[in-house]
Amino acid sequence: MSPDSKASLTTEGHDPQQVEMMAEKVILVDALDNTLGALSKVDSHRGEGQLHRAFSILVFDCDDRLLLQKRATDKITFPGVWANTVCSHPLFLEAGAEDVKDAAIRKMEQELGIPIHQIPAEEIHFITRMMYRARADDVWVEHELDHILFARAPDNLTVEANPNEISAVRWVTEQELAKWLNDDSSSEVIAPWFRCIAENILPEWWGNLDSLPAMADELIRDLGDVSHMMPAGTEFVPGEALMTALSSHKQAVESRILTALSKTGNARLAAAMRHLIDGGGKRLRAILPWLVADALGNASDGMYDLGASIEIIHNFTLVHDDIMDNDSVRRGRPAVHVAFDHPTAINAGDAMLAVAFEILAESEHYDAQHFRDLVQIIGSMVRRVSEGQQEDMSFELRDDVSEEEYIHMISGKTAAMFTTCARTGALLSDADESTIDTMAEWGEHVGLCFQLMDDLIDATGDSKTLGKPACSDLIEGKQTLIAIHALDQDATLLPTFHEVFGSGIDDTDREVLDAIVAELQISGSIQYARDKAMSCHAAAHACLDRLQDSPGLQILRELTDFQMIRIS
C-alpha cells in the first residue's frame, strides 16, 4: 500500500492495527484460480475491487457444532457481522504465494488465539471453492475466490479472541444456524460470504462431517454478486455482475492475445498487429466462450485460448474493414492504415488471422476432434464475415436494399462472431447438441441486436462519445435498417436526410446532424430499428429460458440486457 493510501485510511478514523494489515499483499487470481500477481489489501478491496484468493475455514467440535465469530467493529470491511470460524487471505510473500492451510493456521492464532499445534495443517481439509462479489458500502467490496476448509477441534481447544479482530464467538448447531438464517427480525447481520456457504455448501456437509475429506472437489462455484444479502446492500446496478465477470477474465485472455501477437520478430509488423488491441476494450468476444461454458456448468482454461483466437480474428476484420470503408478512426485513435500505412495494415491483418489459428493448434486443452470442430466452425465464421462485408460494400452501390437483405448481411458481418463464440463455448463445455444449437441461436440474436444498436448509436450519438464522426454511416450512404426504412418513406418528411445521405461530407455541422435525427424520429425510422432490436433482445432471452438457471446464466441475461442499455 502506498504511503498516500495508508495516510488516507488513517485520517478516515480507522483502527491503526487494521490499517497496518491492509498493507499486506493478497494474491490476485483469474476466474480459474491461476495466480496473476500481488496487490495490497486496501487496493484490492477499494472501488470495484480485484479478484483475489481467500479462505474460509469452518471448525466443528465433537458434537458437530460450528464455531462462528462476530467481526470487531474496528474492522475496515464488513465490521460487526457474523461469519464462519475464520475468513481471511493467504498472502503474497517474497517466497511466493502462501498456502491456504498455512494462512488459516496463522489467522486462527492471530484472531482466535488458537495455538498453532492444536489444529495442524494435516488436520485441515480442503473441500471446495466458491467465487463471489459482495459490496459493503460505496467504498469497500469483497471480490474473492474462496477456498473452503474444514477442521475438527480437539477437546482442549483454546479460544482467546483478539478484541481488535473479534467482538464475540459462538458455537451453533445445524438447527440453530438454520433458525438464525431464516430469522428476518434478528438485529444480527450474517456476512454474505458465510450466508453463501451456509445456504449453498453446508447442507451437503452437516450430518456427514466424518466423511467430508473424501468429498473434496475441484469445482469453483460461481455465486456471482451477493451484495443483496446485506440488509443495507447497495442498489442493483444493471450490468454490474457482467462488468465484474468481464473484469475478472480480461487479464487471462489479454495475456494470451499479447503473447500470440508477439510471435513475429518484425517490430513494425508486431506494433501494427497490436495497435487496436492496445487501444483497450472490454474483450467481450474473447470472454464470451468462457461465460457460455460457465453458464452450462463446465468452463475450463481452454476457453481463454479459444477467446483469444476469436478476439484476434475480430480485430483482424476491423483492420481490413477500416481500409475498405476508408475509416480513419477506430475506438478514438487512428486506424491501423493511418497510424502505419496501407500495405502494413493489410499485412498485419493477414498475420493476425494466421496467429489466431496458431493459438488453437498450440493449445493443450483440445483433443483432435475438438480441434477439428473449432477449425471448421471458426473458418466458416471468417468466410461468413467476409461475405457480409462484401454484401455491405455492394449495398453502397445500390439504391434499393431490402430489410431481409440487410439482416442477412449483418448476420454474417457481425452476428456470426457472436454465434461462433456461443456455439464453441457450448461445444467445449461438452453440452448436448440441442443445447449447443440453443446457445448458437442465442448468439445470433444477441449479435443482430448488437449491430442494430450500433446503427442507432451512430445515428443518434455525438462524435466525442462515438470516437468517430457522428452519423458517419448515413453520410457515407450505408444501407442500415434506419436508412432502408427512411428511404421508403415520403421524401418530403426527410429533406435534410436526403441531402446528406451518401454525401461523404465528414465535417457536417452538428445542427444539420440534429435535423437529420429529428427527421428520422418523425418518420419513425429510428423507432422501427429500435423495435427490431427489441425483438432480437426478446428472442435471445427466450433461448436462455430453455436452460437451467444458475449464476452463470444470470450473467448471460445481463449481457443480453446490457445490449439494450446502450440505446436506452
- Residue 492, amino acid: T
Whether residues 94 and 138 share a domain: the answer is: yes
Residues 300 and 222 in one domain: no
pLDDT per position as a tens digit, 343-379: 999 999 999 999 999 999 999 999 999 999 999 999 9
Q: Which of 236, 251, 267 is the last residue of a domain?
A: 236
Statement to judge: residues 383 and 466 lie in one domain: yes
Identify the pLDDT of residue 240: 66
Q: What angle do CA 56, 60, 66 make, to 5 degrees?
A: 75
Which element (helix H / strand E) includes 55? Answer: strand 52-60
Question: Does the reported pTM lie above 0.95?
Answer: no
Q: Identity (one letter) of the amino acid at 274?
A: R
SS (H, E, C) 100-159: HHHHHHHHHHHHHCCCCCCCCHHHEEEEEEEEEEEECCCCEEEEEEEEEEEEECCCCCCC
CB atoms within 10 A of CB 521: 13
CA–CA distance from 218 to each of 32, 96, 98, 144, 204 (Å)? 10, 22, 19, 16, 15
Domain count, the chain: 2
Interior CA angle at 146 toward 292 and 152, to 5°?
135
Residues in the chain: 568
Q: What are the cell numbers at 473?
A: 454511416
The pLDDT value recorded for residue 4 is: 43
Residues 205 and 349 in one domain: no
CB within 8 A of 486, min separation 6: which ones?
A: 494, 497, 501, 519, 520, 523, 525
Q: Are 147 and 100 in contact (CB under 8 A)?
A: yes
* pLDDT given for residue 565 in this prediction: 57
Same domain, 30 and 121: yes
CA–CA dist 97, 87 (Å, integer): 17
pLDDT at 232: 52
Residues of the chain where predicted confidence (pLDDT) is lower than 70: 1-21, 231-240, 461-470, 506-507, 563-568
**Residues 259, 232 within the same domain:** no
Over its C-alpha atoms, the chain yields an Rg (Å, rounded) of 27
Domain that holds residue 104: 3-236
Same domain, 253 and 201: no
Give me the CATH number covering residue 396.
1.10.600.10
Query: Under a CB-based contact definition with an 8 Å cutoff, are residues 291 and 555 in contact?
Result: yes
55: domain CATH number?
3.90.79.10
3-class SS of residue 280: coil
Whether residue 261 sits in one domain with residue 225: no
